[in-house]
Protein backbone atom coordinates (compact mmCIF):
# COMPACT_ATOMS: atom_id res chain seq x y z
CA UNK A 1 0.00 0.00 0.00
CA UNK A 2 1.23 3.45 -0.86
CA UNK A 3 1.31 6.29 1.62
CA UNK A 4 -1.68 7.90 0.10
CA UNK A 5 -4.20 5.18 -0.43
CA UNK A 6 -5.85 4.94 -3.84
CA UNK A 7 -8.85 2.65 -3.56
CA UNK A 8 -10.26 1.18 -6.76
CA UNK A 9 -13.82 2.04 -5.70
CA UNK A 10 -13.06 5.72 -5.11
CA UNK A 11 -13.98 8.24 -7.81
CA UNK A 12 -12.36 11.60 -8.39
CA UNK A 13 -14.61 14.62 -8.08
CA UNK A 14 -14.07 15.29 -11.73
CA UNK A 15 -15.12 11.79 -12.82
CA UNK A 16 -18.11 11.80 -10.53
CA UNK A 17 -19.30 15.05 -12.03
CA UNK A 18 -18.69 14.07 -15.62
CA UNK A 19 -20.30 10.65 -15.41
CA UNK A 20 -22.92 11.82 -12.94
CA UNK A 21 -24.08 14.60 -15.25
CA UNK A 22 -24.28 12.12 -18.10
CA UNK A 23 -26.37 9.84 -15.94
CA UNK A 24 -28.69 12.71 -15.08
CA UNK A 25 -28.99 13.48 -18.79
CA UNK A 26 -30.08 9.98 -19.72
CA UNK A 27 -32.44 9.67 -16.75
CA UNK A 28 -34.04 12.97 -17.62
CA UNK A 29 -34.45 11.85 -21.23
CA UNK A 30 -35.94 8.55 -20.02
CA UNK A 31 -38.52 10.42 -17.94
CA UNK A 32 -39.37 12.91 -20.66
CA UNK A 33 -40.00 10.25 -23.28
CA UNK A 34 -41.45 7.55 -21.06
CA UNK A 35 -44.90 7.80 -22.68
CA UNK A 36 -43.42 6.96 -26.10
CA UNK A 37 -42.19 3.60 -24.83
CA UNK A 38 -44.06 0.37 -24.35
CA UNK A 39 -45.22 -0.11 -20.75
CA UNK A 40 -43.45 -3.44 -20.89
CA UNK A 41 -41.49 -5.21 -23.61
CA UNK A 42 -43.15 -8.57 -23.14
CA UNK A 43 -39.75 -10.29 -23.21
CA UNK A 44 -39.69 -13.71 -21.59
CA UNK A 45 -37.37 -14.52 -18.67
CA UNK A 46 -35.30 -16.56 -21.15
CA UNK A 47 -34.93 -13.63 -23.53
CA UNK A 48 -34.06 -11.35 -20.64
CA UNK A 49 -31.44 -13.81 -19.46
CA UNK A 50 -29.90 -13.86 -22.94
CA UNK A 51 -29.76 -10.09 -23.09
CA UNK A 52 -28.12 -9.96 -19.68
CA UNK A 53 -25.66 -12.69 -20.58
CA UNK A 54 -24.04 -15.11 -18.24
CA UNK A 55 -20.66 -13.64 -17.38
CA UNK A 56 -18.84 -15.05 -14.36
CA UNK A 57 -17.89 -12.79 -11.48
CA UNK A 58 -15.39 -10.30 -12.89
CA UNK A 59 -11.84 -10.54 -11.65
CA UNK A 60 -10.83 -7.15 -12.89
CA UNK A 61 -12.65 -3.90 -12.73
CA UNK A 62 -13.86 -1.81 -15.64
CA UNK A 63 -14.58 1.84 -16.34
CA UNK A 64 -17.51 3.37 -14.47
CA UNK A 65 -18.84 5.09 -17.57
CA UNK A 66 -19.14 1.75 -19.35
CA UNK A 67 -20.96 0.22 -16.41
CA UNK A 68 -23.35 3.15 -16.23
CA UNK A 69 -24.02 3.02 -19.98
CA UNK A 70 -24.76 -0.67 -19.94
CA UNK A 71 -26.83 -0.58 -16.74
CA UNK A 72 -29.00 2.27 -17.94
CA UNK A 73 -29.48 0.60 -21.31
CA UNK A 74 -30.52 -2.67 -19.65
CA UNK A 75 -32.94 -0.96 -17.29
CA UNK A 76 -34.43 1.64 -19.61
CA UNK A 77 -35.07 -0.84 -22.40
CA UNK A 78 -35.98 -4.05 -20.62
CA UNK A 79 -38.08 -3.03 -17.64
CA UNK A 80 -41.73 -2.70 -16.91
CA UNK A 81 -42.17 1.05 -16.69
CA UNK A 82 -44.52 1.82 -13.86
CA UNK A 83 -43.89 5.50 -14.52
CA UNK A 84 -45.71 5.11 -17.88
CA UNK A 85 -49.05 6.95 -18.07
CA UNK A 86 -50.83 3.72 -19.05
CA UNK A 87 -49.50 1.61 -16.19
CA UNK A 88 -52.55 0.75 -14.08
CA UNK A 89 -51.37 -2.56 -12.66
CA UNK A 90 -51.55 -3.73 -9.10
CA UNK A 91 -50.77 -0.84 -6.77
CA UNK A 92 -47.41 0.50 -7.73
CA UNK A 93 -47.21 4.18 -8.46
CA UNK A 94 -45.34 6.26 -10.94
CA UNK A 95 -42.27 7.29 -8.96
CA UNK A 96 -41.81 11.00 -8.30
CA UNK A 97 -38.70 12.47 -9.94
CA UNK A 98 -37.82 14.23 -6.69
CA UNK A 99 -37.86 10.80 -5.05
CA UNK A 100 -35.10 9.65 -7.39
CA UNK A 101 -33.07 12.71 -6.44
CA UNK A 102 -33.74 12.07 -2.76
CA UNK A 103 -32.48 8.48 -2.95
CA UNK A 104 -29.35 9.71 -4.70
CA UNK A 105 -28.74 12.31 -2.03
CA UNK A 106 -29.52 9.89 0.81
CA UNK A 107 -27.11 7.31 -0.58
CA UNK A 108 -24.36 9.90 -0.94
CA UNK A 109 -24.51 10.95 2.72
CA UNK A 110 -25.56 7.46 3.87
CA UNK A 111 -26.86 8.19 7.36
CA UNK A 112 -27.59 5.06 9.37
CA UNK A 113 -31.01 5.94 10.72
CA UNK A 114 -30.91 3.17 13.30
CA UNK A 115 -29.44 5.39 15.98
CA UNK A 116 -29.62 9.11 16.56
CA UNK A 117 -25.90 9.42 17.12
CA UNK A 118 -25.24 7.98 13.63
CA UNK A 119 -27.81 10.12 11.87
CA UNK A 120 -28.63 13.27 13.82
CA UNK A 121 -30.32 15.20 11.00
CA UNK A 122 -31.79 12.18 9.23
CA UNK A 123 -33.39 11.00 12.48
CA UNK A 124 -34.95 14.42 12.99
CA UNK A 125 -36.19 14.44 9.39
CA UNK A 126 -37.71 10.97 9.76
CA UNK A 127 -39.44 12.09 12.94
CA UNK A 128 -40.88 15.09 11.12
CA UNK A 129 -41.94 12.90 8.20
CA UNK A 130 -43.85 10.59 10.53
CA UNK A 131 -45.54 13.60 12.11
CA UNK A 132 -46.42 15.03 8.70
CA UNK A 133 -47.86 11.71 7.55
CA UNK A 134 -50.11 11.63 10.63
CA UNK A 135 -51.20 15.18 9.85
CA UNK A 136 -51.67 14.27 6.19
CA UNK A 137 -54.22 11.56 6.88
CA UNK A 138 -55.86 13.52 9.68
CA UNK A 139 -54.89 11.78 12.90
CA UNK A 140 -53.35 13.58 15.91
CA UNK A 141 -49.63 14.24 15.54
CA UNK A 142 -49.15 12.50 18.87
CA UNK A 143 -49.16 9.28 16.82
CA UNK A 144 -45.57 8.11 16.52
CA UNK A 145 -44.01 5.65 14.18
CA UNK A 146 -41.36 4.59 11.77
CA UNK A 147 -40.64 4.31 8.07
CA UNK A 148 -40.35 0.72 6.85
CA UNK A 149 -39.92 -1.00 3.50
CA UNK A 150 -43.59 -1.29 2.54
CA UNK A 151 -47.10 -2.34 3.45
CA UNK A 152 -46.28 -5.83 4.59
CA UNK A 153 -43.62 -4.59 6.97
CA UNK A 154 -45.78 -1.69 8.14
CA UNK A 155 -48.56 -4.13 9.03
CA UNK A 156 -46.17 -6.62 10.66
CA UNK A 157 -44.59 -3.85 12.73
CA UNK A 158 -48.02 -2.84 14.04
CA UNK A 159 -49.21 -6.44 14.49
CA UNK A 160 -46.40 -7.17 16.93
CA UNK A 161 -46.94 -3.92 18.83
CA UNK A 162 -50.61 -4.90 19.19
CA UNK A 163 -49.59 -8.28 20.53
CA UNK A 164 -47.22 -6.74 23.07
CA UNK A 165 -49.92 -4.37 24.23
CA UNK A 166 -52.67 -6.96 24.53
CA UNK A 167 -50.96 -10.15 25.71
CA UNK A 168 -52.03 -11.06 29.25
CA UNK A 169 -48.42 -11.69 30.29
CA UNK A 170 -45.13 -10.36 29.05
CA UNK A 171 -44.46 -11.82 25.62
CA UNK A 172 -40.79 -10.98 25.94
CA UNK A 173 -40.30 -13.32 28.86
CA UNK A 174 -43.17 -15.78 28.72
CA UNK A 175 -43.58 -16.13 24.98
CA UNK A 176 -46.82 -17.19 23.33
CA UNK A 177 -47.22 -20.63 24.83
CA UNK A 178 -47.17 -19.49 28.44
CA UNK A 179 -49.82 -16.87 27.81
CA UNK A 180 -53.40 -17.59 28.78
CA UNK A 181 -55.68 -18.63 25.93
CA UNK A 182 -55.07 -18.78 22.20
CA UNK A 183 -54.58 -15.27 20.85
CA UNK A 184 -56.89 -14.74 17.88
CA UNK A 185 -57.47 -11.83 15.50
CA UNK A 186 -60.09 -10.61 13.06
CA UNK A 187 -60.09 -9.24 9.54
CA UNK A 188 -62.39 -9.23 6.54
CA UNK A 189 -62.06 -11.70 3.71
CA UNK A 190 -60.78 -8.85 1.55
CA UNK A 191 -57.63 -8.44 3.67
CA UNK A 192 -54.25 -8.58 1.95
CA UNK A 193 -52.10 -11.74 2.27
CA UNK A 194 -49.80 -10.05 4.80
CA UNK A 195 -52.12 -11.30 7.54
CA UNK A 196 -51.45 -14.93 6.63
CA UNK A 197 -47.73 -14.29 6.52
CA UNK A 198 -47.96 -12.65 9.97
CA UNK A 199 -49.94 -15.58 11.38
CA UNK A 200 -47.34 -18.02 10.13
CA UNK A 201 -44.19 -16.03 10.89
CA UNK A 202 -45.18 -14.92 14.36
CA UNK A 203 -46.21 -18.33 15.58
CA UNK A 204 -50.01 -18.09 15.68
CA UNK A 205 -50.77 -20.29 12.70
CA UNK A 206 -53.40 -19.45 10.12
CA UNK A 207 -56.15 -20.99 12.26
CA UNK A 208 -55.85 -18.01 14.59
CA UNK A 209 -57.16 -15.76 11.80
CA UNK A 210 -60.89 -15.09 11.92
CA UNK A 211 -61.87 -14.28 8.34
CA UNK A 212 -65.01 -12.18 8.67
CA UNK A 213 -67.52 -12.25 5.83
CA UNK A 214 -68.05 -9.10 3.81
CA UNK A 215 -71.41 -7.51 3.10
CA UNK A 216 -72.88 -6.69 -0.31
CA UNK A 217 -70.61 -3.64 -0.57
CA UNK A 218 -67.58 -5.81 0.21
CA UNK A 219 -67.09 -4.19 3.63
CA UNK A 220 -66.47 -6.27 6.72
CA UNK A 221 -69.79 -7.43 8.14
CA UNK A 222 -69.56 -5.94 11.62
CA UNK A 223 -72.46 -7.96 13.03
CA UNK A 224 -70.62 -11.15 12.21
CA UNK A 225 -67.48 -9.60 13.67
CA UNK A 226 -69.19 -9.01 17.01
CA UNK A 227 -70.72 -12.44 17.11
CA UNK A 228 -67.40 -14.11 16.31
CA UNK A 229 -65.67 -12.17 19.08
CA UNK A 230 -68.39 -13.25 21.55
CA UNK A 231 -68.07 -16.89 20.51
CA UNK A 232 -64.30 -16.79 20.88
CA UNK A 233 -64.44 -15.24 24.34
CA UNK A 234 -66.99 -17.85 25.41
CA UNK A 235 -64.75 -20.66 24.30
CA UNK A 236 -61.74 -19.31 26.20
CA UNK A 237 -59.82 -17.70 23.34
CA UNK A 238 -58.02 -14.44 23.79
CA UNK A 239 -59.08 -12.01 21.04
CA UNK A 240 -56.59 -9.17 20.75
CA UNK A 241 -56.75 -7.44 17.40
CA UNK A 242 -59.19 -6.35 14.70
CA UNK A 243 -57.93 -5.18 11.32
CA UNK A 244 -59.98 -2.77 9.26
CA UNK A 245 -59.19 -2.06 5.61
CA UNK A 246 -58.96 1.51 4.38
CA UNK A 247 -58.90 0.60 0.72
CA UNK A 248 -58.75 -3.16 0.30
CA UNK A 249 -56.09 -4.32 -2.08
CA UNK A 250 -58.43 -5.81 -4.65
CA UNK A 251 -61.23 -3.30 -5.12
CA UNK A 252 -60.38 -0.36 -2.84
CA UNK A 253 -63.27 -0.72 -0.39
CA UNK A 254 -63.02 1.12 2.93
CA UNK A 255 -64.52 -0.74 5.90
CA UNK A 256 -66.88 0.93 8.38
CA UNK A 257 -64.00 2.09 10.49
CA UNK A 258 -65.93 3.87 13.23
CA UNK A 259 -68.20 0.86 13.79
CA UNK A 260 -65.16 -1.39 14.06
CA UNK A 261 -63.58 1.12 16.48
CA UNK A 262 -66.67 0.98 18.70
CA UNK A 263 -66.58 -2.81 18.76
CA UNK A 264 -62.89 -2.76 19.62
CA UNK A 265 -63.54 -0.36 22.50
CA UNK A 266 -66.35 -2.49 23.87
CA UNK A 267 -64.15 -5.59 23.98
CA UNK A 268 -60.82 -3.94 24.75
CA UNK A 269 -59.23 -4.95 21.46
CA UNK A 270 -56.46 -3.29 19.47
CA UNK A 271 -57.80 -1.60 16.34
CA UNK A 272 -55.40 -1.64 13.42
CA UNK A 273 -56.11 -0.08 10.03
CA UNK A 274 -54.45 -1.39 6.90
CA UNK A 275 -54.39 1.75 4.83
CA UNK A 276 -51.37 0.73 2.77
CA UNK A 277 -53.03 1.78 -0.45
CA UNK A 278 -56.06 3.88 0.34
CA UNK A 279 -55.58 5.98 3.44
CA UNK A 280 -53.81 8.91 1.73
CA UNK A 281 -57.17 9.65 0.06
CA UNK A 282 -58.31 10.90 3.49
CA UNK A 283 -56.41 14.08 2.61
CA UNK A 284 -59.03 14.94 -0.03
CA UNK A 285 -61.84 16.81 1.78
CA UNK A 286 -64.44 15.26 -0.52
CA UNK A 287 -63.50 11.73 0.58
CA UNK A 288 -62.60 12.30 4.23
CA UNK A 289 -65.98 11.05 5.39
CA UNK A 290 -65.23 7.60 4.00
CA UNK A 291 -62.43 7.31 6.54
CA UNK A 292 -64.35 8.47 9.60
CA UNK A 293 -62.98 6.67 12.64
CA UNK A 294 -59.32 6.59 11.63
CA UNK A 295 -58.30 8.72 14.59
CA UNK A 296 -59.64 5.96 16.83
CA UNK A 297 -57.17 3.42 15.46
CA UNK A 298 -54.42 2.15 17.73
CA UNK A 299 -52.19 1.69 14.70
CA UNK A 300 -52.21 2.42 10.98
CA UNK A 301 -50.16 1.09 8.07
CA UNK A 302 -49.66 3.23 4.99
CA UNK A 303 -47.43 3.04 1.95
CA UNK A 304 -45.81 6.21 0.64
CA UNK A 305 -44.57 4.05 -2.26
CA UNK A 306 -48.17 3.73 -3.38
CA UNK A 307 -50.30 6.85 -3.32
CA UNK A 308 -47.62 9.33 -2.27
CA UNK A 309 -45.68 8.34 -5.40
CA UNK A 310 -42.42 7.64 -3.55
CA UNK A 311 -40.07 5.35 -5.44
CA UNK A 312 -39.81 1.90 -3.85
CA UNK A 313 -39.38 1.29 -0.98
CA UNK A 314 -41.31 3.29 1.57
CA UNK A 315 -43.95 2.16 4.02
CA UNK A 316 -44.93 3.65 7.36
CA UNK A 317 -46.35 2.41 10.65
CA UNK A 318 -48.18 4.91 12.85
CA UNK A 319 -49.05 4.00 16.43
CA UNK A 320 -51.26 5.98 18.79
CA UNK A 321 -49.06 5.11 21.74
CA UNK A 322 -45.57 4.63 20.27
CA UNK A 323 -44.32 3.27 23.60
CA UNK A 324 -45.72 -0.09 22.44
CA UNK A 325 -43.23 -0.07 19.58
CA UNK A 326 -40.38 0.46 22.04
CA UNK A 327 -41.78 -2.22 24.37
CA UNK A 328 -41.78 -4.61 21.41
CA UNK A 329 -38.55 -3.86 19.60
CA UNK A 330 -36.14 -2.28 22.03
CA UNK A 331 -33.24 -4.06 23.59
CA UNK A 332 -30.05 -2.69 25.00
CA UNK A 333 -26.95 -4.74 24.39
CA UNK A 334 -23.86 -3.67 26.29
CA UNK A 335 -22.00 -2.63 23.14
CA UNK A 336 -24.53 0.08 22.31
CA UNK A 337 -23.55 3.40 23.71
CA UNK A 338 -26.64 5.26 22.59
CA UNK A 339 -27.78 6.69 25.90
CA UNK A 340 -29.16 10.14 25.57
CA UNK A 341 -28.68 13.42 27.32
CA UNK A 342 -31.13 13.86 30.14
CA UNK A 343 -32.55 17.10 28.80
CA UNK A 344 -32.88 15.91 25.22
CA UNK A 345 -33.86 12.24 25.02
CA UNK A 346 -32.70 10.92 21.68
CA UNK A 347 -34.78 8.88 19.31
CA UNK A 348 -33.16 5.65 18.18
CA UNK A 349 -35.19 4.10 15.39
CA UNK A 350 -33.71 0.64 15.93
CA UNK A 351 -35.96 0.58 19.00
CA UNK A 352 -39.08 1.17 16.90
CA UNK A 353 -38.98 -1.70 14.44
CA UNK A 354 -37.31 -4.76 12.95
CA UNK A 355 -34.22 -3.18 11.48
CA UNK A 356 -30.98 -2.30 13.12
CA UNK A 357 -28.98 -0.49 10.45
CA UNK A 358 -31.50 1.52 8.49
CA UNK A 359 -31.42 3.54 5.30
CA UNK A 360 -32.86 7.01 4.92
CA UNK A 361 -36.23 6.20 3.33
CA UNK A 362 -37.89 9.19 4.92
CA UNK A 363 -36.00 11.68 2.76
CA UNK A 364 -37.88 10.97 -0.48
CA UNK A 365 -41.22 11.20 1.32
CA UNK A 366 -40.24 14.37 3.17
CA UNK A 367 -38.94 16.07 0.02
CA UNK A 368 -42.02 15.22 -2.07
CA UNK A 369 -44.34 16.48 0.67
CA UNK A 370 -42.52 19.82 0.43
CA UNK A 371 -42.39 19.91 -3.36
CA UNK A 372 -46.16 19.76 -3.76
CA UNK A 373 -47.55 20.39 -0.27
CA UNK A 374 -50.82 19.00 1.00
CA UNK A 375 -52.60 20.89 -1.78
CA UNK A 376 -50.57 19.18 -4.48
CA UNK A 377 -51.48 15.77 -3.11
CA UNK A 378 -55.14 16.70 -2.76
CA UNK A 379 -55.08 17.57 -6.45
CA UNK A 380 -53.19 14.46 -7.63
CA UNK A 381 -55.07 11.92 -5.51
CA UNK A 382 -58.38 13.58 -6.41
CA UNK A 383 -57.48 13.42 -10.11
CA UNK A 384 -56.53 9.72 -9.88
CA UNK A 385 -59.91 8.97 -8.34
CA UNK A 386 -61.71 11.03 -10.98
CA UNK A 387 -59.93 9.15 -13.76
CA UNK A 388 -60.93 5.81 -12.26
CA UNK A 389 -64.50 7.11 -12.02
CA UNK A 390 -64.36 8.23 -15.64
CA UNK A 391 -63.28 4.75 -16.69
CA UNK A 392 -66.17 3.28 -14.72
CA UNK A 393 -68.73 5.68 -16.22
CA UNK A 394 -67.45 5.03 -19.73
CA UNK A 395 -67.54 1.27 -19.14
CA UNK A 396 -71.12 1.64 -17.93
CA UNK A 397 -72.33 3.26 -21.12
CA UNK A 398 -70.17 1.23 -23.51
CA UNK A 399 -72.17 -1.52 -25.18
CA UNK A 400 -69.32 -4.05 -24.96
CA UNK A 401 -68.10 -3.29 -21.46
CA UNK A 402 -69.58 -4.28 -18.15
CA UNK A 403 -68.67 -1.93 -15.28
CA UNK A 404 -68.32 -3.98 -12.08
CA UNK A 405 -66.88 -1.96 -9.14
CA UNK A 406 -65.52 1.51 -8.47
CA UNK A 407 -63.90 2.51 -5.16
CA UNK A 408 -61.19 5.13 -4.59
CA UNK A 409 -58.96 4.88 -7.69
CA UNK A 410 -59.74 1.24 -8.53
CA UNK A 411 -62.21 0.31 -11.25
CA UNK A 412 -63.05 -3.22 -12.31
CA UNK A 413 -64.85 -4.16 -15.50
CA UNK A 414 -65.30 -6.91 -18.06
CA UNK A 415 -65.28 -7.07 -21.82
CA UNK A 416 -68.56 -8.57 -23.04
CA UNK A 417 -69.08 -9.33 -26.77
CA UNK A 418 -72.26 -7.71 -28.15
CA UNK A 419 -74.12 -10.99 -28.59
CA UNK A 420 -73.59 -11.83 -24.89
CA UNK A 421 -74.76 -8.52 -23.49
CA UNK A 422 -78.15 -9.87 -22.49
CA UNK A 423 -76.86 -13.28 -21.47
CA UNK A 424 -74.03 -12.41 -19.09
CA UNK A 425 -75.03 -14.57 -16.14
CA UNK A 426 -75.45 -17.85 -18.03
CA UNK A 427 -72.20 -17.26 -19.92
CA UNK A 428 -70.02 -16.19 -17.02
CA UNK A 429 -67.66 -19.07 -17.46
CA UNK A 430 -66.94 -18.20 -21.06
CA UNK A 431 -66.67 -14.50 -20.22
CA UNK A 432 -64.17 -15.32 -17.49
CA UNK A 433 -62.05 -17.28 -19.92
CA UNK A 434 -62.33 -14.49 -22.46
CA UNK A 435 -61.33 -11.77 -20.00
CA UNK A 436 -58.40 -13.77 -18.66
CA UNK A 437 -57.08 -14.26 -22.19
CA UNK A 438 -57.75 -10.64 -22.94
CA UNK A 439 -55.77 -9.49 -19.90
CA UNK A 440 -52.80 -11.62 -20.95
CA UNK A 441 -52.99 -10.26 -24.50
CA UNK A 442 -53.15 -6.68 -23.28
CA UNK A 443 -50.19 -7.21 -20.97
CA UNK A 444 -48.18 -8.84 -23.76
CA UNK A 445 -49.00 -6.00 -26.12
CA UNK A 446 -47.05 -3.73 -23.80
CA UNK A 447 -49.33 -0.82 -24.65
CA UNK A 448 -51.21 -0.80 -21.36
CA UNK A 449 -50.81 -2.66 -18.09
CA UNK A 450 -53.95 -3.75 -16.25
CA UNK A 451 -54.27 -6.41 -13.57
CA UNK A 452 -57.21 -8.59 -12.60
CA UNK A 453 -59.67 -9.15 -9.82
CA UNK A 454 -62.25 -11.88 -9.25
CA UNK A 455 -65.51 -10.45 -7.95
CA UNK A 456 -68.45 -12.74 -7.14
CA UNK A 457 -67.04 -15.29 -9.55
CA UNK A 458 -66.48 -12.72 -12.30
CA UNK A 459 -62.98 -12.48 -13.72
CA UNK A 460 -62.53 -8.73 -14.14
CA UNK A 461 -59.99 -6.41 -15.63
CA UNK A 462 -58.78 -4.07 -12.91
CA UNK A 463 -57.38 -0.59 -13.32
CA UNK A 464 -55.73 0.96 -10.27
CA UNK A 465 -54.69 4.50 -10.99
CA UNK A 466 -51.97 5.75 -8.64
CA UNK A 467 -50.31 7.56 -11.47
CA UNK A 468 -49.77 11.31 -11.67
CA UNK A 469 -48.92 10.96 -15.38
CA UNK A 470 -52.26 9.49 -16.46
CA UNK A 471 -54.77 11.78 -18.15
CA UNK A 472 -58.23 11.49 -19.67
CA UNK A 473 -56.91 10.67 -23.12
CA UNK A 474 -55.14 7.62 -21.66
CA UNK A 475 -58.44 6.37 -20.27
CA UNK A 476 -60.20 6.74 -23.64
CA UNK A 477 -57.31 5.08 -25.46
CA UNK A 478 -57.27 2.19 -23.01
CA UNK A 479 -60.99 1.65 -23.52
CA UNK A 480 -60.41 1.41 -27.27
CA UNK A 481 -57.55 -1.03 -26.77
CA UNK A 482 -59.62 -3.24 -24.49
CA UNK A 483 -62.56 -3.32 -26.88
CA UNK A 484 -60.46 -3.92 -30.01
CA UNK A 485 -58.37 -6.62 -28.38
CA UNK A 486 -61.47 -8.09 -26.74
CA UNK A 487 -63.13 -8.54 -30.11
CA UNK A 488 -60.05 -10.30 -31.46
CA UNK A 489 -59.76 -12.63 -28.48
CA UNK A 490 -63.46 -13.45 -28.71
CA UNK A 491 -63.03 -14.14 -32.42
CA UNK A 492 -60.32 -16.75 -31.70
CA UNK A 493 -61.87 -18.22 -28.56
CA UNK A 494 -65.41 -18.78 -29.74
CA UNK A 495 -64.31 -21.35 -32.32
CA UNK A 496 -62.25 -23.33 -29.79
In the complex with ligand PLP, which residue's Cβ is closer, 274 or 474? 274
Distance of closest approach, residue 124 Cβ to ligand PLP, in angstroms = 25
Q: List residues binding ligand PLP (CB under 6 A).
A: 91, 150-152, 192, 194, 248-249, 274, 276-277, 303, 315
User: What residues are paired with 406 via a beta bridge?
Assistant: 411
Distance of closest approach, residue 266 Cβ to ligand PLP, in angstroms = 25
Distance of closest approach, residue 191 Cβ to ligand PLP, in angstroms = 8
Q: Coil, helix or strand for 187? A: strand
Distance of closest approach, residue 27 Cβ to ligand PLP, in angstroms = 24
Tell me the DSSP string of 440-495.
HHHHHHTS-B-EEEEETTEEEEEEE---TT--HHHHHHHHHHHHHHHHHHHHHHTT
User: What residues are paired with 455 via a beta bridge?
Assistant: 458
Angle between helical axes of 257-267 and 222-234 (0-180°, round to 10): 20
In the complex with ligand PLP, which residue's Cβ is closer, 252 or 322? 252
H helix or E strand, kind and range, residue 184: strand 183-188
In the complex with ligand PLP, which residue's Cβ is closer, 279 or 325? 279
Contact criterion met (CB below 8 Å) for 306 and 151:
yes
User: What residues are paired with 211 via a beta bridge?
Assistant: 187
Nearest one of 496, 490, 482 to 445, comparing CA atoms: 482
Distance of closest approach, residue 305 Cβ to ligand PLP, in angstroms = 6
In the complex with ligand PLP, which residue's Cβ is closer, 315 or 446? 315
DSSP class of residue 72 equals H
Q: How large is the C-alpha radius of gyration of the chain?
A: 25
Distance of closest approach, residue 307 Cβ to ligand PLP, in angstroms = 10
Q: Coil, helix or strand for 408? A: coil
Contact criterion met (CB below 8 Å) for 429 and 423:
no
Distance of closest approach, residue 194 Cβ to ligand PLP, in angstroms = 5
In the complex with ligand PLP, which residue's Cβ is closer, 164 or 251? 251
In the complex with ligand PLP, which residue's Cβ is closer, 409 or 435? 409
In the complex with ligand PLP, which residue's Cβ is closer, 315 or 417? 315
Residue nearest to ligand PLP (CB): 151
Q: Coil, helix or strand for 404? A: strand
Amino acid sequence: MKDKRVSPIEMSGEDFKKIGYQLVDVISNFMETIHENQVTTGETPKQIQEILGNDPLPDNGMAVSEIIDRSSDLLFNHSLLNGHPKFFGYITSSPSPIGAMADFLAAAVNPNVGANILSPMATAIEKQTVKWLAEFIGVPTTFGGILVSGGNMANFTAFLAARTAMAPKSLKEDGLTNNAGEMVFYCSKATHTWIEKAAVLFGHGTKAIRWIETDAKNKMNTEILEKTIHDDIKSGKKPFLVIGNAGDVSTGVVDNLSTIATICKAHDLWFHIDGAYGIPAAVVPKYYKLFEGIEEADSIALDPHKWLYAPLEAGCTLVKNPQYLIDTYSSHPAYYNFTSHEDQPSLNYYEFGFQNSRGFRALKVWMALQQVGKKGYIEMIGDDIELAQLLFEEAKIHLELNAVTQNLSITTFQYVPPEYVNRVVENQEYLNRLNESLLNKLQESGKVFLSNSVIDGKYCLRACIVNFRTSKSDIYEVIDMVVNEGRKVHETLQWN
